[in-house]
Amino acid sequence: YLDCLWAQIQKLKKDRWQERHILRPYIAFDSVLCEALQHNLPPFTPPGHMPDAQYPIPRVIFRMFDYTDAPEGPVMPGSHSVERFVIEENLHCIIKTHWRERKTCAAQLLSYPGKNKIPLNYHIVEVIFGELFQLPLPPHLDVMYTTLLIELCKLQPGSLPQVLAQATEMLYMRLDTMNTTCIDRFINWFSHHLSNFQFRWSWDDWADCLTMDLEKPKPKFVKEVLEKSMRLSYHQRIVDIVPPTFSALIPAEPIFSFKYGEETGSSLPGYPVSITVSNAIKNRASNEEILTILRDVPNPNQEDDDDEGESFNPLKIDVFLQTLLHLAAKSFSHSFSALGKFHEILKTLTESDDGKLHILKVVYEVWRNHPQMIAVLVDKMIRTQIVDCAAVANWLFSQDMAHEFTRLFTWEILHSTIRKMNKHVQKIQKELEESKDKLEKQQHKRRDSGDDEDMEKNSEEDEEGQLEEQIERLQEKVESAQSEQKNLFLVIFQRFIMLLTEHLVRCETGSVDISTPWYKNCVERLQQVFLMHHGTIQQYMGTLENLLFTAELDHHILAVYQQFCALQL
Amino acid sequence: MSAKLDALKSDSYTEISQYRDQHFKGNRYEQEKLLKQSNTLYVGNLSFYTTEEQVHELFSKCGDVKRIVIGLDKVKKTACGFCFVEYYTRGDAENAMRFVNGTRLDDRIIRTDWDAGFKEGRQYGRGKSGGQVRIKALISCALTF
């Protein structure tokens, strides 16, 4: 971006600074200014490079349209012309100023001073998508852009929706080479946008995706859009809005899959206990009573003459959780209430790492047609410490979830998990800082107060002692949390490396091209983890380099790490 | 001059409205204080069929949602067109006021407003027949301030 801009500015200098878009109010006062006292500007030397200098993140130029896309009306300035940069910069400024008030923002964008000289709607749409797709993160919350575009459509109903449709079409055409993170944002934007316009879209225009392998970017995109659209409406609505030819892309009905139902499950080993537990829950049995009932569940992992059966029993978890979640399947609130009521039992069942992994497996099994429910349940279980973040990461990368590895919900859960971990560490660090500040203030107070009564001095010393203890405890808490955070990233990166290495080795031995849709997705998801959490990952770079991203790694994988380092974020 | 500059920082969508809960236990000052610190939003004009899942999906776009309480008809105990959405942080709730208020959910334009905080009982409609109080009654309340 800077390279191109610099080239354009140098060209502009050669053209004696003549262009048509920078507002030049001084021209109107030329006669006065010519006669006025002239001053010389002092020389300006930019500061040299310092080792701890922080630079803005590299940016690429984002151009969607050229003059052929806007055939009627004023001509669009060339992609690399300085006019294009100036207009883009001005529109960015308007958004930066007014993003909090979308009606004002839309009005200001549409009253851009030079609007009669340019196809303004195209510039606006391009700048907005440019921001939305910016890596690593958009300047503002994704949803801001959605509602801004809706306001713009309201103000220009005869022209802007068409430009937006054209843009959507162009983005769809480029899905094969679009960065996975950008595809995620495109999916979220498009489904949310459609939900504001009765899901009206010319789906038949995209019939080409129906003949492709469903893992290819285009059908995958449509599938994810329909799934997100369903979350904002309901299953039958989606069936109604797409042509019948699209039925393979319609999401599954988001209903519970109960293993221990009367018809299909009566022969299963856990069935009798499932009935007993179900009745116990309905009759408000105590936790002890239920745990007693669960002791009757045979353990497929164990010998008959083993101990009390306190060790990991996957069938016990399966029977209890399936039954409980089945009773609570009506809504999120019902399920949350169930997790809360039986928190003690769940904690007991998931004491071991195996237990934590298995509870996630069961949640997936019963709600595999309702990924939204899986996500909110996993969130709740982390927050109530039934599972920990590392367990969630291990589960998502496990063989059992391999077939869901390229689905959007998998990555939403992973990133949400990492964010929760980060917020947890930040919270304790903040508590520590606050305690330290408090102690400092106390110490200042004591020093300033000079000769006091012995009694007061003692109580002040007590308070300080308590604070010092608290600080020590919080220090330990911070270290423990950071250790957990580091471990989480180690688990995630390790799993990525294992999966990618496996794929590369398999392709090499089979003399097959490595560049499958799966591979592209996996590599870009690895990049996504680095980019989305670069602030936190910085602290652990040393460990990552020593333990994981070593020279022995396949160069394809190492390249991702090296590219990230080169960004110097 | 400074009035113009203030306009550049304008954030009117997050300001508290004229509505005050008549059943609030406390004076106007206390209620306003809570509204200005609140992480909870009242959401109105929902369809009677709008589900907790749909509300969660939409409002999650502004941040992690802590809790949703669907408003119920006091008599029928069925959804009656409003709900409460509580975020973990006020910043996320402010974003909902900026970006979700006035947009569509389940084809209806929904309205969000600050709420002093959910308390058991507030999920029930206070209208005569058990549903929500209708607009006419609200306007006459406003006129008596």
Chain B contact for A104 (CB, 8 A cutoff): yes
- Using N-to-C axis directions, what is the helix angle for B52-59 and A371-383, rounded to 10°? 70
Q: Please compute the mean of the pLDDT values over residues B51-63 and round it to a whole number.
A: 98
Minimal CA–CA distance to B97: which of A115, A352, A187, A101? A101
- The predicted pLDDT at position B145 comes to 39
Whether pLDDT at B15 is above 50: yes
Distance CA A329, CA B53 (A): 12
How far does the CA of residue B126 sit from the closest CA of chain A (Å)?
A: 22
Query: Which has the closest alpha carbon to A196: A259, A142, A245, A154?
Result: A154
Helix H, strand E, coil C: the string for A326-349 is: HHCCCCHHHHHHHHHHCHHHHHHH
Q: Where are the alpha helices (DSSP H) in A368-513?
A: 371-383, 389-396, 408-449, 454-509
- The answer to whether B53 contacts A147, with C-beta atoms less than 8 Å apart, is no
**A13 interface with B at CB cutoff 8 Å:** no
Among B56, B69, B104, the residue with its CB nearest the CB of A195 is B104
A331 vs B contacts (CB less than 8 Å): 51-53
- Residue B141, pLDDT score: 46
Residues A97, B8: C-beta atoms closer than 8 Å: yes
pLDDT tens digits, residue range B99-113? Answer: 999 999 999 999 999
Euclidean distance between CA atoms A174 and A133, whole angstroms: 13
pLDDT of residue B80 exceeding 80: yes
Can you give the pLDDT of all 569 residues of chain A as single tens digits? 888 889 999 999 999 998 888 888 899 999 999 999 999 999 999 889 888 887 888 888 899 999 899 888 899 998 888 999 999 999 999 999 999 999 999 999 999 998 899 999 999 999 999 999 999 999 999 999 999 999 999 999 999 999 999 999 999 999 999 999 999 999 999 999 999 999 999 999 999 999 999 999 999 999 999 999 999 999 999 999 999 999 999 999 999 999 999 888 889 989 999 999 999 999 999 999 999 999 888 888 765 545 554 578 999 999 999 999 999 999 999 999 999 999 999 999 999 999 999 999 999 999 999 999 999 999 999 999 999 999 999 999 999 999 999 999 999 999 999 999 999 999 999 999 999 998 888 888 877 776 556 666 677 778 888 888 999 999 999 999 999 999 999 999 999 999 999 999 999 999 999 999 999 999 999 999 999 999 899 899 999 999 999 999 999 999 999 999 988 76
The reported pLDDT for the residue numbered B137 is 47
For chain B, how many residues are written?
145
Q: Provide φ and ψ at A39, rounded to 5°.
A: -120, 150
Given a contact cutoff of 8 angstroms between Cβ atoms, the answer to whether A491 and A395 are in contact is no
Nearest residue of chain A to residue B55 (CA atoms): A232
C-alpha A114/C-alpha A3 separation (Å) is: 26
SS3 of residue B44 by DSSP: strand
Q: CA angle at residue A269 from A268 to A275, to 5 degrees?
A: 80
State whether B103 and A142 contact (CB < 8 Å). Answer: no
Return the closest-CA partner of residue A349 out of A341, A358, A340, A336: A358
Quickly tell me which residue has 């974003």 as its tokens: B95
A231/B contact by beta carbon, under 8 A:
yes
CB contact under 8 A, B106 and A232: yes
- Cα-to-chain-centroid distance, residue A259: 32
Put simply, the answer to whether A231 touches B53 (Cβ < 8 Å) is: yes
The Cα A152–Cα A157 span in angstroms is 8
The answer to whether the Cβ–Cβ distance between B10 and A379 falls below 8 Å is no
B48–chain A Cβ distance below 8 A for any pair: no
From chain A, pick out residues whose CB is under 8 angstroms from the CB of B61. Answer: 141-143, 146, 188, 192
Helix or strand or coil: residue A456?
helix
Q: At B82, phi and psi to the nearest 5?
A: -145, 170
Which residues does chain A have within 8 Å of residue B66's beta carbon, measured at their own beta carbons? none
* Backbone torsions φ then ψ of A405, nearest 5 degrees: -65, -30
State pLDDT tens for residues A88-113.
999 999 999 999 999 999 999 999 99
CA distance B79 to A172: 39
Non-local CB neighbours of A221 within 8 Å, separated by 6+ positions: A172, A175, A183, A186, A187, A209
* CB distance A195 to A232 below 8 Å: yes
Cβ-based neighbours of A314, under 8 Å, separated by 6 or more: A299, A300, A301, A354, A358
A557, A505 contact by CB (below 8 A): no
Answer whether B104 sits within 8 Å of A333, measured CB to CB: no
Q: What is the largest CA-CA distance in chain B?
A: 57
Closest CB to A196 among B8, B54, B103: B103
Nearest Cα of chain B lies from the Cα of A296 at a distance, in angstroms, of 36
CB contact under 8 A, A372 and B14: no
Task: Give residue A2's pLDDT.
Answer: 84
Mean local confidence (pLDDT), B77-90: 94
Residues A327/A359, Cβ–Cβ less than 8 Å: no
The Cα–Cα gap between A224 and A396 comes to 18
Question: Cβ A143–B100 below 8 Å, yes or no?
Answer: yes
Angle CA A353–A358–A364, to nearest 5? 135
Asked if residue B69 lies in contact with residue B83, where contact means CB atoms within 8 angstroms, the answer is yes
Which one of A235, A332, A337, A415 would you mutate to disrupt binding with B, by most B Cβ within 10 Å of its Cβ?
Answer: A332
Contacts of B68 in chain A (CB under 8 A): 332-333
d(CA A115, CA A87): 10
Collapsing DSSP states into helix, strand and coil, what is residue A270? coil
Nearest to A332 among B53, B64, B105 (CB): B53
Order of all β-strands in the sheet with B65-72: B65-72, B79-87, B40-44, B111-115
Distance CA A391, CA A491 (A): 9
Cβ partners under 8 Å of residue A13, min gap 6: none
- Report the residue of B8, B52, B53, B104 to disrupt the A interface, i.e. the one with the largest count of A CBs within 10 Å: B53
Strand residue runs (E) in B6-142: 40-44, 65-72, 79-87, 104-105, 108-109, 111-115
**Interatomic CA distance for residues A277 and A288, integer angstroms:** 12
Q: Is B56 on the interface with A (CB under 8 A)?
A: yes
pLDDT at A37: 92
Taking CA atoms, A366 is separated from A190, A212, A256, A481, in Å, by 29, 30, 6, 32
With beta carbons less than 8 A apart as the criterion, state whether A139 and A96 touch.
yes
Contact indicator for A148, A105 with CB cutoff of 8 Å: yes
State residue A301's pLDDT score.
75
A422 contact B CB<8A: no
Count interface pairs A-B at CB distance under 8 A: 74
- pLDDT recorded at residue A263: 86
Task: Identify the pLDDT of residue A90.
Answer: 95
Interface of B with A in 89-118 (CB under 8 A): 95, 98-100, 103-107
Question: Rounded to an integer, what distance in angstroms lies between the CA atom of residue A501 and that of residue A497?
Answer: 6
B57 at interface of A, judged by CB pairs closer than 8 A: yes
Burial class of residue A110, CB neighbours in 10 A (0-12, 13-18, 19+):
middle
**The token pair that represents A118 in the structure block:** 């340019």
Which residues of chain B are within 8 Å of residue A232 when distances are taken between CB atoms? Answer: 54, 57-58, 105-106
